[in-house]
Structure 1
């Protein structure tokens, strides 16, 4: 066999190799994942891809959008607050507010989260268009009366800070599907429940907003556990309360 023929075979083999590396995994991926179904699932997810961020004309905070480019909005909800009043998502329209999921007997992260919430509340004590939505994940225990005592003990004074209770499955669906803030009952963990320690920032029209990180992706949620005074926790995780205050102020001006 001639050298020319050898070069031809080498060239063909190289092309086949490149094709295999680039295209075969994509083909397998499409077949195994059934793209239509996968896109339906992704369209419900909050994305961290900067391609799907939408900037605001009024500030540098972005709208969190899904893979279809649709702005992620707070789902409809209706619960009972610490005063026995029915509160819905529509009651928050026209206000900038934070969302958290907690429970009053939480022995771990909830006290830290709500001390930070109090700090934020006091920072914006003169803002009539700022509120907080706190949803209990243990509604069997956290009745309106229990929530009222809890609010009084922590120093809740903002009239737009509603600590809400209701049907547990509805609350869990709101957390896990509406906000993608993890919530679950687990008897094996301290306190009997697991949940996210993050806060969601909502604008006056009910859309989830956030700043963009140095990597170019949206922050999406803000760490609600580490205090501004701490700076960083024992694991080196930095506080985000200070930047959350900055971003609330920006939305209040929109």
Structure 2
């Protein structure tokens, strides 16, 4: 091997040594402090669970609408408040156990949604009866067992009638009313509301960029459309639950 070749290897080794002395400690320091992981790893960015999804916030007077405070008793006799749902994504419905029309279909859809999210400890359902005089915790427990409610975060709640109706009609604008002429003696919306982990009402947008606000809860995925020909929204609701669980 020539002297010229030896000098070349010596020069390369010297450059590598200088690079190591100057830059490697800085790289180690940045990795230790987390800068490389937070700012430069594309794979970690792709798996980031803190990013906000494309679901809209429902705004009232330019303020995101939150779930109003509530406190009721569930099917197990426990007091449940809105704070019990913080950190969870959940669906809200208003129903009553003796409903002969839309409630059985709504709750069959919710059972299907429940079963789609088994194992997700931060998913739940909040069901408020609009017939609390009849729907005691014991009645609600029997109803829950009948339908197959297994999610520990699915609370079927009863309590003061005025408070429930105020929560429905004013808190969510989901219509409920006593009506002697209606089947079962009550009228109510067949829509579901979707709530994020921080208690905000969320929804996807329509083709014009406006929030749909609520999800139609009567028609099932299998039925495809409801009686009026409107497409089912259970599949959309499931997709959007996934988005909020990943926020």
Range into which the TM-score falls when normalised by the shorter chain:
0.7 to 0.9
Partner residue of 1:236 out of 190, 205, 229: 229
Residues 74-97 of structure 1, C-alpha deviations (whole Å, 9 max, x = no match): 000000000000000000000000
Cα distance in 2 for residues equivalent to 1:81 and 1:64: 27
Q: Which residue of 2 aligns with 1:164?
A: 157
TM superposition outliers: structure 1 runs of 4+ over 3 Å: none
Partner residue of 2:87 out of 86, 94, 99: 94
Residues 148-206 of structure 1, C-alpha deviations (whole Å, 9 max, x = no match): 00000000000000000001011000000000000000011111000000000000000
Residues 31-68 of structure 1, C-alpha deviations (whole Å, 9 max, x = no match): xxxxxxxxxxxxxxxxxxxxxxxxx95211011101x2
Count of paired positions: 198
* 2:64 counterpart SS class: coil
Aligned residue runs from structure 1 range 48-197, under 5 A: 58-66=52-60, 68-197=61-190
* 1:126 counterpart SS class: coil
Cα distance in 2 for residues equivalent to 1:58 and 1:189: 42
Residue 215 of structure 1, CA deviation: 1.8
Q: Which residue of 2 aligns with 1:30?
A: none
Cα distance in 2 for residues equivalent to 1:129 and 1:213: 27
Unaligned 5+ residue runs, structure 1?
Answer: 1-55
Q: Which residue of 1 aligns with 2:37?
A: none
Q: Which is greater in Rg?
A: 2
Cα distance in 2 for residues equivalent to 1:228 and 1:128: 24
- How does the TM-score come out when normalised to structure 2? 0.79
* 2:194 counterpart SS class: strand
Cα distance in 2 for residues equivalent to 1:157 and 1:195: 25
Cα distance in 2 for residues equivalent to 1:85 and 1:211: 33
Cα distance in 1 for residues equivalent to 2:228 and 2:123: 32
Residue 235 of structure 1, CA deviation: 2.1
* 1:87 counterpart SS class: strand
Unaligned 5+ residue runs, structure 2?
Answer: 1-49
